[in-house]
Chain A
């Protein structure tokens, strides 16, 4: 298990990198930048990474946070890997639908469902 950032809890579930947000709000630009850098640093040495990002505790996120998710998704795809998002609260999920990013990301209701899809 690795803990690469105070804003993230990063763990390994078999061959999947599971990333849990620890903050209710993902709004502050500096924090968002740090989150992006921490994830990139973790994924950089990997080939075809399988990544699960869990939003269980997240109550608010900004368009800047969405931008970081898009950047992470691009990195994962570039490496031939797969990114899935899970445990997104209904209010946050609505943000994905409004921005049509639900078409861009693979979203599962639960971490278990996402892990099954990544297996």
Chain B
């Protein structure tokens, strides 16, 4: 089994930066034997996390950056996403699965992250997201 693989990127917004980070994570997970389900789950959760940080987190931050750190070993993949915004209260986001909210086009990113990752934690003041995917989750 290869050693733990780590990565770090500063994301400013262009799509190519997100794609490059996603590819690096996928390659590391593949090296550590994560399966198709795991790759799908992490790709989806990371997509939501990184786009949320760039689009919503740094919305009012001119030239804002997102600090993205990750590590993958044989047991788990860990992700830290920090934007430069003032944060938010994730508990204040309406439940998109309520019947009254089903027709609202936005607001599903956080619930998808929680559904697909083993751990999802927004740290105060809400501009630092920590996520973990454990291989055993879907083994």
Contact = CB atoms under 8 A, between A and B. Distances in A.
Interface of B: 15, 37, 40, 43-44, 47-48, 51, 55, 96-97, 99, 102-109, 111-112, 115
Contacts, number: 55
Contact of B47 (A62, A74, A104): A62
Contact of B48 (A63, A98, A103): A63
A117 B81 CA distance: 45
A29 B103 contact: no
B105 A71 contact: yes
B102 A63 contact: no
Nearest to A99: B108
Given A63-B48, A99-B108, A104-B103, 13 more contacts: A60-B44, A62-B47, A63-B106, A63-B107, A66-B108, A67-B108, A68-B105, A70-B102, A91-B40, A99-B96, A100-B96, A100-B102, A103-B99
Interface of A: 27-30, 60, 62-64, 66-68, 70-71, 74, 91, 95, 98-101, 103-104
A71 to B, nearest CB: 5
A106 B98 CA distance: 18
B105 A70 contact: yes
A29 B111 contact: no
Contacts of A101: 102
Contacts of A70: 102-105
Nearest to B106: A67
A62 B51 contact: yes
8 contacts: A60-B47, A62-B48, A64-B106, A66-B108, A67-B105, A74-B103, A91-B37, A99-B111
Contacts of A66: 105, 108
A71 B37 CA distance: 29
Contacts of A60: 40, 43-44, 47
Nearest to B41: A91
A95 B112 CA distance: 8
B64 to A, nearest CB: 16
A100 B48 CA distance: 18
